């Protein structure tokens, strides 16, 4: 139980440090970092590299954005295995559907309820 938290903390922390180094060293904007991380998550999962990281890091690997790519790639490969070619188009979004729908719905609701704080 405690090991779960420690490995989630360490693996999640390391992934964030990689992002921090990219931001500080390459002048990449946060938007580009997020795009790079999601795409890397997809590619690393397809190559079979991300699955072991998820096994070790658990939420530490699935909560950061590469974990979003992991859900997309895992979903697409599962669906292709089960349904064939059509799965290439339906599997990815299916795999990440929960996160996408939640992001859109909660994002919209919160944007409506709250107002931007005036920046000091």
- Judge contact between 22 and 36, C-beta under 8 A: yes
- Shortest distance, CB of residue 109 to another protein, whole angstroms? 8
For another protein, the closer of residues 52 and 104 by Cβ is: 104
Number of residues counted as binding another protein (CB under 8 A): 84
**Footprint of another protein on residues 74-113 (CB under 8 A)?**
75-77, 79-81, 84-85, 87-89, 91-93, 95-104, 106-113
Contact 12, 63 (CB under 8 A): yes
Helix (H, G, I), strand (E, B) or coil at 120: coil
Least gap, CB of 95 to another protein (angstroms):
8
Phi–psi pair at 85, nearest 5 degrees: -55, -40
Q: Could you tell me if 88 and 80 are in contact, meaning their C-beta atoms sit under 8 angstroms apart?
A: yes
53 near another protein, judged by CB under 8 A: no
Token pair in block for residue 24? 């500080």
The residue from 26, 38, 48, 49 that contacts another protein (CB under 8 A) is 38
* Binding track over 6-35 against another protein, x by CB under 8 A: --xxxxxxxxxxxxxxxxxx----xx-xxx
Least separation in angstroms between CB 52 and another protein: 16
**Region for residue 23 given its phi and psi (left: phi exceeds 0; alpha: psi -120 to 50; beta: otherwise):** alpha
């Amino acid at each position: 139980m405690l090991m779960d938290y420690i490995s989630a903390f360490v693996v999640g922390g390391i992934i964030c440090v990689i992002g921090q180094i990219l931001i500080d060293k390459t002048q990449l904007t946060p938007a580009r970092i997020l795009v790079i991380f999601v795409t890397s998550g997809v590619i690393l999962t397809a190559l079979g590299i991300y699955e072991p990281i998820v096994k070790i890091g658990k939420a530490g690997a699935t909560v950061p954005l590469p974990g979003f790519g992991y859900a997309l790639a895992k979903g697409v490969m599962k669906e292709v295995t089960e349904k064939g070619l059509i799965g290439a188009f339906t599997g990815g979004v299916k795999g990440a559907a929960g996160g996408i729908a939640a992001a859109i719905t909660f994002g919209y609701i919160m944007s409506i309820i709250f107002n931007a704080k005036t920046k000091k």
